Amino acid sequence: MNDIIKVTNVSKAYGGVKANVDISFKVKKGSITGLIGPNGCGKTTLFNSIVGYHPIDGGSIEFDGKEISHLRVGDIARLGMLRTFQQTKIYTKMNCVDNMQISVSHRRNSKNGIFASRKGEIRERAEDLLEFVGLYSKRNLISGDLSFGQQKLLEFAMALMNEPKVLLLDEPTAGINPTLINGLIDRLGRANQELGITLCVIEHNMRVIMNLASHIYCLSNGKMLAEGKPSELQNDQRVIDAYLGGH
Amino acid sequence: MMRRSTFITYAGLGLFGILGPILFPAYTLSIAYLWMMVLMASTWDILGGQMGYNSLGNITFFGVGMYVSAIIQISIFYEPGVGEYTSAMGAIKPEFTDQQYYWGIFLGIFGGAIAALALSLIFSTFMFGLRGPYFAIGSLGLAIAAAEITVTINYVGGASGISMPMFPGDIEFRSVFFYILCFTLAVLSHFVIRGMLSTQFGLAINAIRDDEDKAEAMGLPTLIYKQIGWAVTAVFMGAIGAVAGNMAGFIDKEVAYPVPTFGIFMVAMVLLGGKGTLWGPVLGAIIFHIVKETTWTYLLGWQWVTLGLILIINIVYFQQGIMGWLQSKYPEMFGIVVDQSNINQEKKES
Amino acid sequence: MFDNLQLLFVWAPIINVQVILDGIFVGAVFALCAYGLALVWGVMNIKNLAQGDFVIMGGYLALVLHSWNLPLPVILIIVTIIMFVYGWSIYALIIRRIVDKDMFVSLLATFGLSLLMQQAMNLYFGPEVQTIDMKLPVIDAFDNMVTIPYSKIISLALAGIITAAVVIFMKKSRTGQAIRATAQDARAARVLGIDTDRVYAFTFAFNSALCGAAGVLVSVIWVIQPFYGITYSVRTFAIVTAAGLGNLPGVISAAFGIGLFEKYTGMIVGTAYEVAAPVMILLLVLIIRQIHMKRNRQVVR
C-alpha cells in the first residue's frame, strides 16, 4: 500500500458553510506532502476530519488501507496517526520530561506497560528526543512557562516520542522566530528520513513548504484546486490567483 | 530514596498510629474514624485530584461494601439465611463462635471489596463518557439511586436495616480490633496509591486532568486508566465500608450511604489539604476530623453547618488547599524547578 | 405492581386522569426551576447544585408567612422578593468569586452552599415533612375517582402566569436583553457598556426568586423537607440536560415528562420508588446523551 492516507470525495459542512466539498487527495508513504491554500479554505477542517474530530458528511478516509472515517480520535491515534495543533496543545502544568514520557506509544503491541517505571528507559528516550529538538536544558521546567516557539518544539518532540506512522502538522512554523525556522525544517526532514515518519503539512510559508514537500495540494474555497510538484504549483496561475484573491 | 522530611512524616504518623490507642484509650474509636477519613480522602483524590474527575458518588462503594459484608457475615454461618434474619427484624440473634465471627468479618471485608470493585467496573462502562459537571452529578445520582434501591430490597432488611453480629470480646478489645482494621486499610491504601502514582499511571492520570483531549489525541487509552483509578478507589471504599458497618453494629440506608455528610466531606477534606497531592488528603482529613470532633462537643447541631461553611470558604477563597499553597510558596521543596534565567530574560525583552 | 398496572389500564382507566393531572401539576413547578437553572448555566456557566435547596427555602418561607395568615398571592410576592435579595447576596459573597474559575470550583461551591442550606433548614425547621394546607375545596370528578384540589389548579395557573411573565421580561425588557447579550458573548457585552457583573448578579438573584416562587407552589401542592432539595436539583439537571440550554419549549415538555414519569412510577411500583425515579431518569438521560455524542465522535462535556 503506497498511499498511507487516501481521502476520497470527503465533504464537511458546518450549518450553511461548506468547509470541504468533495475533496480527494493521497499521501504517499514515507513522503512529505504539503497542503496549502488561502485562509479559510478548509485545510484545518480537513485535518480535523482525518484525525477524527468530527464526523464527515460524505466520502471515505483510509489510513493504511483501513477505513477510519467513523473512528474516534483515540482509536486513530493508536493506529499511528497523530497531529499537531496550530495553537499548540501540550500538558501545560507538567514539566517537559513528563510531557514527553506520557506521550509514549500506547498501541496494542507496544510494550509500554501501564505501571512502567518513570525512571527507566522511557525517561531516557524522552531526554534523547528533547535533546534532538534542542530543549534538553529546559527539560525540568513547567511546559506552560516556555515560549510559544519552544512549546511548538515540545509538541513536535512529543509526537516523535509516540513513534507514529504519519504526522499531520498544522502550520508548524507559524509564530516562530524566522531564525529558528531553519532548525525546525531540518528536524522535520530528519524525522522523515531517519525515523521514516510520513509527514503531511499545512503551511502558509511558501519558502518552507516548497523546499520541504515532494508533493503539494492546494485548496481553495473548500475545494481541491490543484496538485503537483512544488515547481509545478509555483507557476500554476490558478494557485497564484487563489492567493491573490482573483477568482 | 526517601527524603528526610518524608521519613519524619511517616515516622511521626506511624508512631501516632501505633501509640494513639495506647496513650488515649478513650479516643480509640475516634482515631479509628480518623483513619477511615484518611482512606476516603486519599482514594477520592485519585480520581478527583489527580485525574480531575470529581466524583460525588464514591460513597456508593462504601455502602455496597457494607451491605455485601453483612450478607456474607450472616449467611455464612447462619443456616436459614439472610432473608429469614432480616425479616425477623432483630428478633433472631445468632450465636457465632469466636472463630466463626472472625472468619465472617474477614470474608465480609474481602467480599465487600470485591463487590464494590465489580460495581465500579459496571459503572465505568456508562459513566466515563461524561465530563465535568455531568460526571459529578451522574455519580451523585448513582449514590442516591443506590440508597433508594437498597431500601426497597427486603432481603437486606429494607428500611429497617440489618443488625450486625455481636463482637466476641469486651469493649476495649473491640475498639482496638476495629482500630487496627481501619489503620491497616488506611496505611495500605496510602502506599498502594503512592506506588501507583510513582509509575507511568500517575503521569497518565495527570495528563488526563491537564488536557484530556490531548491525551486522547496522543493515543492514551484514557478509559482504561479511569477504570483502574475508580477500581482501586472502590476496593478500598468497599473494604472500609464493611469495617464501618461492623463498627456501627447496625446498618441501614443512612449509615451506608451518608451522601450529604461523609459523601461530601471526603471532597471537603481533600480541598482543605490540597487536591492532587499525596499528603493533601491526609492533612485535610486530619484537620477536618479534629474540627468535627471539637465542634461536636461544643457546637452540637451546628456541626454540619460549620463544616459546610468550611467547604464554601475553602472553595471560594483558598482553592489550592494547604499543600497547594505550600507548593506555590516553596516550589523547590517539592521538586518543581523554576527557571530563574528565563524569567530574567523575559524581563529584559519587555 | 401488576395489580396497580391492571388498575390503571383495565379496571379503572379513569385513574389515568388523576395521575396525568398530578404529573402536570408538579411538572409545571419543575419547569420553573429548570428554566432558572438553564438561565444561570447559560449566562454565567455556573451549574447550581443548590437549585433544589433554593426551592425548599422558598417553601419554608411560605410556610412561615402562611402561619401569619397571609393570602397566597401576597405570600408569593413576598417570598419572591426575599429570595431575590437572598440570591443577590449569595452572588456577592460566593458566586462572584468563582464565576471565571474552572468548573470543579463552581460545582463544589454550589454543593457546599446546598449542604449549608440543607443543614441550616434542618436545624431550624426540623426534619419532618411539612405542607401548607390551603383549606380550599376539592373538586371530585368522575365518581370520586379523580380528586382535583383547587389549590393545585391555582398553583398551575400561577406557574403559567409566572412563566409568561418571565418570558416577556426576557424578550422585551432592557435587562432581559442585557442578560441574553451577556449569555451570548460576555466580552462583547462588556465592550458595549453592559455591566456584566450586575447582569450576573441579577441573573442569579432572578433564578433564586424563580426557585422561591416554585417553592411556594411546592409547599402548597406537595410537601417540603430540608433534604428534599437534592431531588429537585437532580430533576432540574435531568431536564436541562435533556432539553438543552436555550430551548424553552423543550424545557417545559421535559419538565412535564419527568412529572408524569414520576407520578406513574409512584402509581405502578409504589411510592418507595418516587425518589429513585428522577435519579434514574437523570442517569438514563446521561447515558442516552453519551450514545448520541459517541456517534458524533464526541463526549458529553
> What torsion, rounded to 10 degrees, do the Cα atoms C233, C234, C236, C241 define?
140
pLDDT for C142 = 66
Q: What are the sequence ranges of the domains in chain A? A: 1-80+166-247, 89-163
pLDDT for A245 = 59
pLDDT at A173 over 60: yes
Q: Which residue has the higher pLDDT, A108 or C175?
A: C175
Q: Which amino acid is at A207?
A: R
The answer to whether the CB of B284 falls within 8 A of the CB of B274 is: yes
Q: In a 3-state reduction of DSSP, which class is residue A201?
A: strand
User: In the 3-class helix/strand/coil scheme, how is chain B assigned residue by residue?
Assistant: CCCHHHHHHHHHHHHHHHHHHHHCHHHHHHHHHHHHHHHHHHHHHHHHHHCCCCCCCCHHHHHHHHHHHHHHHHHCCCCCCHHHHHHCCCCCCCCCCHHHHHHHHHHHHHHHHHHHHHHHHHHHHHHCCECHHHHHHHHHHHHHHHHHHHHHCHHHCCCCCEECCCCCCCHHHHHHHHHHHHHHHHHHHHHHHHHHHCEHHHHHHHHHHHHHHHHHHCCCCHHHHHHHHHHHHHHHHHHHHHHHHHHHCEECHHHHCCHHHHHHHHHHHHHHHCCCCCCHHHHHHHHHHHHHHHHHHHHCCCHHHHHHHHHHHHHHHCCCHHHHHHHHHCHHHHCCECCHHHHHHHHHHC
Which of chain B's residues have a Cβ under 8 Å away from the Cβ of C94? Answer: 312, 316
Distance from CA of A225 to the nearest CA of C (A): 29
Distance from CA of B153 to the nearest CA of C (A): 11
The answer to whether the CB of B208 falls within 8 A of the CB of B169 is: no
Hey, which bits of chain C come out as E strands?
138-141, 146-149
> Which chains have at least 3 CB atom pairs separated by less than 8 Å from chain A?
B, C
Radius of gyration of chain A (CA): 18
Q: Which residues of C touch A (CB under 8 A)?
A: 294-298
| pLDDT-wise least confident of A213-227, B313-327, C264-278 | C264-278
DSSP for C70-86? --HHHHHHHHHHHHHHH
Which of chain B's residues have a Cβ under 8 Å away from the Cβ of A141? Answer: 337-339, 342
Residue C70 CA: distances (Å) to CA of B180, B192, C76: 60, 62, 10
Query: Any CB–CB contact under 8 A between B62 and chain A?
Result: no
Q: In a 3-state reduction of DSSP, which class is residue C95?
A: helix
Which of chain A's residues have a Cβ under 8 Å away from the Cβ of B213? Answer: 73, 89
Which of chain A's residues have a Cβ under 8 Å away from the Cβ of C294? Answer: 72
Query: Any CB–CB contact under 8 A between A94 and chain B?
Result: yes
**Percent of chain C scoring above 90 in pLDDT:** 25
pLDDT at C91 over 90: yes
Q: How many CB atoms lie within 10 A of CB B216?
A: 23
The answer to whether the CB of C36 falls within 8 A of the CB of C194 is: no
Which of chain C's residues have a Cβ under 8 Å away from the Cβ of A54? Answer: 296-298
Residue C142 CA: distances (Å) to CA of B65, C19, C147: 50, 14, 9
The b/e string for A95-111 (b: 16+ C-beta within 10 A; e otherwise) is bbbbbbbbbbbbeeeee
Q: Which amino acid is at B235?
A: V
Kindly state the average pLDDT of the residues A37-58.
Answer: 89
Q: Which helix (H) or strand (E) holds C170?
A: helix C150-172
pLDDT in tens, A111-149: 567 888 888 888 999 999 999 998 999 999 999 999 988
> Which chains have at least 3 CB atom pairs separated by less than 8 Å from chain B?
A, C
**Percent of chain C scoring above 70 in pLDDT:** 97
The rounded distance, in Å, linking the Cα atoms of B222 and B212 is: 8
Beta bridge partners of A62: A6, A67
pLDDT for B339 = 57
The mean predicted confidence, pLDDT, of chain C is: 86
Minimum-distance CB partner of A101 among B200, B211, B224: B200
Which of chain A's residues have a Cβ under 8 Å away from the Cβ of B202? Answer: 118
The rounded distance, in Å, linking the Cα atoms of C69 and B104 is: 60
The verdict on a CB contact (< 8 Å) between A140 and B337 is yes
The answer to whether the CB of A157 falls within 8 A of the CB of A100 is: yes
The rounded distance, in Å, linking the Cα atoms of C43 and C50 is: 17
pLDDT for B347 = 38
Q: Is residue A197 very low, low, confident or very high in pLDDT (cuts 50, 70, 90)?
A: very high
The answer to whether the CB of C50 falls within 8 A of the CB of C114 is: yes
The answer to whether the CB of B165 falls within 8 A of the CB of B101 is: yes
Q: Which residue has the higher pLDDT, A215 or C273?
A: A215
Residue C40 CA: distances (Å) to CA of A160, C8, C33, C93, C191: 44, 39, 11, 16, 21
The verdict on a CB contact (< 8 Å) between A52 and C295 is no
The verdict on a CB contact (< 8 Å) between B316 and C108 is no
The verdict on a CB contact (< 8 Å) between B130 and C286 is yes
Query: Any CB–CB contact under 8 A between B5 and chain A?
Result: no
pTM of the model: 0.88
Q: Which of residues 205-264 of B touch A (CB under 8 A)?
A: 206-207, 210-211, 213-222, 224-225, 228
Q: What is the grid cell recorded at B80? A: 436459614
Distance from CA of C168 to the nearest CA of B (A): 30
Q: Which helix (H) or strand (E) holds C208?
A: helix C196-221
Positions in chain B short of pLDDT 70: 1-2, 89-90, 335-350
The verdict on a CB contact (< 8 Å) between C299 and B129 is yes
* Class of residue C7 by CB neighbours under 10 A (exposed 0-12, middle 13-18, buried 19+): middle
Q: What is the grid cell recorded at A104? A: 509514549
Query: From B198, which residue of chain A is nearest by alpha-carbon distance?
Result: A118
Distance from CA of B150 to the nearest CA of A (A): 36
Q: Which letter does DSSP use for residue C274 in this model?
A: T
The rounded distance, in Å, linking the Cα atoms of B185 and A247 is: 73
DSSP for A123-180? HHHHHHHHHHHT-GGGTTBBGGGS-HHHHHHHHHHHHHHT--SEEEEESTTTT--HHH
Query: Any CB–CB contact under 8 A between A107 and chain B?
Result: yes
Which of chain C's residues have a Cβ under 8 Å away from the Cβ of B213? Answer: none
Q: How many CB atoms lie within 10 A of CB B333?
A: 11
Which of A178-182, B31-35, C152-156, C285-289 has maximum average pLDDT?
B31-35
The verdict on a CB contact (< 8 Å) between A54 and C296 is yes
Minimum-distance CB partner of B201 among A115, A122, A145: A115
The answer to whether the CB of A107 falls within 8 A of the CB of A74 is: no
Q: What is the grid cell recorded at B249? A: 453494629
Which of chain C's residues have a Cβ under 8 Å away from the Cβ of A52? Answer: 297
Q: What is the grid cell recorded at C21? A: 393531572
The answer to whether the CB of B158 falls within 8 A of the CB of B152 is: yes
Radius of gyration of chain C (CA): 20
Kindly state the average pLDDT of the residues A13-33.
Answer: 89
Instruction: State the sign of the Cα–Cα–Cα–Cα dihedral C167, C173, C175, C178.
Output: positive
Distance from CA of A50 to the nearest CA of B (A): 12
Find all residues with CB under 8 Å of B2, minimum gap 6, and list them.
B10
Q: Which residue has the higher pLDDT, A15 or C208?
A: C208
Domain A1-80+166-247 bears CATH identifier 3.50.50.60: no
> What torsion, rounded to 10 degrees, do the Cα atoms B244, B248, B251, B257 define?
-50
Query: Any CB–CB contact under 8 A between B51 and chain C?
Result: no
pLDDT for A221 = 87
List the CATH code of the domain at C2-295. 1.10.3470
Q: Within 13 Å of residue B8, how many CA atoms lie on the same side as its CB?
A: 3
pLDDT at C210 over 90: yes
Q: Which residue has the higher pLDDT, B263 or A216?
A: A216
Q: Is residue A161 very low, low, confident or very high in pLDDT (cuts 50, 70, 90)?
A: very high
* Class of residue B303 by CB neighbours under 10 A (exposed 0-12, middle 13-18, buried 19+): buried
The verdict on a CB contact (< 8 Å) between B210 and A95 is no
Note the residue count of chain A.
247
Query: From C297, which residue of chain A is nearest by alpha-carbon distance?
Result: A72
Q: Which amino acid is at B125?
A: T
Smallest Cα–Cα separation from B264: which of B272, B302, C36? Answer: B272
Which of chain C's residues have a Cβ under 8 Å away from the Cβ of B271? Answer: 108
Which of chain C's residues have a Cβ under 8 Å away from the Cβ of B145? Answer: 276, 279-280, 283
Which of chain A's residues have a Cβ under 8 Å away from the Cβ of B196? Answer: 115
The verdict on a CB contact (< 8 Å) between A103 and B218 is yes
Distance from CA of C78 to the nearest CA of B (A): 26
Q: Are strands A198-202 and A215-220 parallel, antiparallel or unpaired?
A: unpaired
Q: Are strands A17-28 and A3-14 parallel, antiparallel or unpaired?
A: antiparallel
> Which chains have at least 3 CB atom pairs separated by less than 8 Å from chain C?
A, B
Q: Are strands A32-36 and A198-202 parallel, antiparallel or unpaired?
A: parallel
Instruction: State the sign of the Cα–Cα–Cα–Cα dihedral B81, B86, B91, B94.
Output: positive
The rounded distance, in Å, linking the Cα atoms of C62 and C59 is: 5
Which of chain C's residues have a Cβ under 8 Å away from the Cβ of A72? Answer: 294, 297
Query: Any CB–CB contact under 8 A between B311 and chain C?
Result: yes
Kindly state the average pLDDT of the residues C23-42.
Answer: 90
pLDDT for B90 = 67
Note the residue count of chain C.
301
pLDDT for C143 = 66
Query: From C99, which residue of chain B is nearest by alpha-carbon distance?
Result: B316
The verdict on a CB contact (< 8 Å) between A73 and C295 is no
pLDDT for A109 = 60
Minimum-distance CB partner of A92 among B199, B210, B216: B210
Which of chain C's residues have a Cβ under 8 Å away from the Cβ of B269? Answer: none
Q: Which amino acid is at C197?
A: D
